Amino acid sequence: MCGIIGFVGPQESDALDVLLDGLAGLEYRGYDSAGIALANSPIDVHKRQGEVSSLESALAEADLASESVGIGHTRWSTHGPPSDYNAHPHTDAEGQVAVVHNGIIENYQSLRTELSEGGIHFESDTDTEVVPHLIAQGLDQGLEPESAFRQAIERLEGSYAIAAVFEGSDTVYAARHESPLVLGIGQDGHYLASDVPAFIEYTDQVIYLEDGEFATITPDHVRITDAAGETVETTVETIEWDAEDAGKSGYDHYMLKEIHEQPNAIRECLRGRLNELTGRIELEELADLTWEGPVTLVACGTSYHAAMVGVTLLNRWGVDARAMLASEFDAASVPLTESSLVVGVTQSGETADTMRALREANRAGATTLAVTNVVGSSAARECDHVVYIRAGPEISVAATKSFASQQAALTMVAAALSGRRSRELVQSLRSIADAIQQVLDTSCAREVAQAYRDADAYFFIGRGLHYPVALEGALKLKEITYKHAEGFAAGELKHGPLALVGEQTPVFALVTGDGDRAEKTIGNIKEVEARGVPVVAVTDGQSDVERYADHVLEVPALKGIASSVAANVQLQLVAYWVAHELGRSIDKPRHLAKSVTVE
């Protein structure tokens, strides 16, 4: 969701190339327009609705002066429809300053009214455009650029990551509040971005801005200050992956590449955390964690489904736990005390709803734990404890390997919190990577996708740990195919949803093992089969579900979490191949963003 790139280099550098590379590196976040501003005199601003390629075509026809300082942006619409005039950057009336912005300025309407009454004409529908006009007011009052920038930021309410360049200046100014910004420290210039992939090919040395901090970036200096203008001591961190890790590596889509990266992602997630001799989960990150009250997991989307897995295990192992959609979490509905533990599950570590819930928990005095993929993210920095899932960079909007790693990580967290010690559990976790690889090597998901690509709708059912996987299977399919899909606890199909099934609505049933859950799910399958509904069984062959299925997607015969993770891979592949058959934009599905940083 919305991407920022900024660059300040020596005079011989070419900011335009860096900005375009950065915008390309941010395409995965989801966007509907793109633009750049070069700090020439006057400022060169170019922006276009559509993909970065549309902007590049326009730039090829423009008469651009060489410049070593600039900012760029990919926009995901919040205020006003996708258009050239709503695209970022935005400028003041005189073209003195250009601004890019992620987030939402909540008081923009009152600011806009005030500025309009003062004679300012607005060119766009966005909340962002108030910012350059506020900065220009400061300049007209005789303030220096930095002071004018700070004065404008002080008037904003809401969430924002903002970067600005001034006419003829060699400096980029930036500020953040509840929206991520990271600086890249390079030998041939310095970088600013909403996410590391924007500049990872140039440098792996980064500084993460905290809420309320300002950055002043020149060709040879980076200065971080607080709201009062006092210098803040910062730490330069090293990113442990490179540009090649974030590439497609020969796959047609990032999603397919990331599905195939899951065995290695799981191995990384488990590395150094399992003791097969004692059956213990060894999460050093939680060694000093203490709490006494209930555990609440908060998350959104795919991460919420992973949270459901964690809660299922916690409850089984004697811990009072619940999963909540972060957007529904508030202190009134979930009373918190100093004995409470709130766990935020977020791939990016920047999800706005999840961050709001965690901040509310912090204010209430609860202990907070982040389960995230991104080192240095807001969740990682602001929570009392953090467990990294170690999935590596995930570029496709549709989450795949992060979900697998979240399931494994939350299984370990649940074991650590409950004090569970089990060699069988450790062996189950160890078996996941090989089980996924077996599914990848033998899956017939493409044939199933070809058989059902024209279905009217798709239903997914499962019990126990398979229930959140059924929800995730439906989410993945609807995300990238734009087809209707729903997931249900298998026993709930007969309580209403059965009215929707028919010959053109296949039911994907997750059935593993031969116990009570498998038998009951087979009973649910018989209910739909009797009504002429096609059935796809995801199974390990231990039950006789194949008798009632039109197609079978096989998984290895394993127990517990390993079985659910392997079954999910089959559903990921089905979603991918249905989308492929339909010619969808798999990595960048319409209307969606990778990191949702607005509530």
Active-site residue set: 2, 594
* CB contact at 8 A, 435 and 562: yes
**Dihedral angle over CA of 10, 16, 18, 22, nearest 10:** 140
What DSSP letter does each residue of 417-466 carry, written as one string? HHT---HHHHHHHHHHHHHHHHHHHH--HHHHHHHHTT-SEEEEEE-TTH
What is d(CA 548, CA 525) in angstroms, rounded to the nearest whole number? Answer: 7
Residue 241's CB: how many other CB atoms inside 10 A?
Answer: 14
- Orientation of helix 423-442 relative to helix 262-270, angle to 10°: 160
Show the CA angle centred on residue 519, arms to residues 516 and 520, nearest 5°. Answer: 85
Strands 507-511 and 535-539, bridge-based pairing: parallel
Strands 33-38 and 205-208, bridge-based pairing: unpaired
Place of tokens 């949270």: 307
What is d(CA 78, CA 80) in angstroms, rounded to the nearest whole number? Answer: 6
* CB contact at 8 A, 254 and 197: no
Extract the tokens encoding 140: 């007209």
Place of tokens 């990032």: 254
Extract the tokens encoding 209: 């801005």
User: Nearest to residue 262, comparing CAs of 128, 416, 119, 390?
Assistant: 390
What is d(CA 416, CA 280) in angstroms, rounded to the nearest whole number? Answer: 8
Identify each DSSP E strand in 120-171 by its residue range.
Answer: 158-166
* CB contact at 8 A, 43 and 164: no
* CB contact at 8 A, 147 and 138: yes
Distance of CA 465 to the CA centre of its chain: 23
For the CA atoms of the chain, what is the radius of gyration? 25
Reported as half-sphere exposure (CB side, CA atoms, 13 A), residue 510 has a value of: 30
In angstroms, the Cα distances linking 86 to 78, 163, 200, 262 are 10, 17, 28, 39
Q: What is the 3-state secondary structure (H, E, C) of 248-301?
A: CCCCCCHHHHHHHCHHHHHHHHHCCCEECCCCEECCHHHCCCCCCCCEEEEECH
What is d(CA 200, CA 238) in angstroms, rounded to the nearest whole number? Answer: 11
Extract the tokens encoding 379: 């969740």
Q: What's the maximum distance between 2 C-alpha atoms anywhere in the chain? A: 81
Residue 107's CB: how many other CB atoms inside 10 A?
Answer: 14
What is d(CA 389, CA 347) in angstroms, rounded to the nearest whole number? Answer: 8
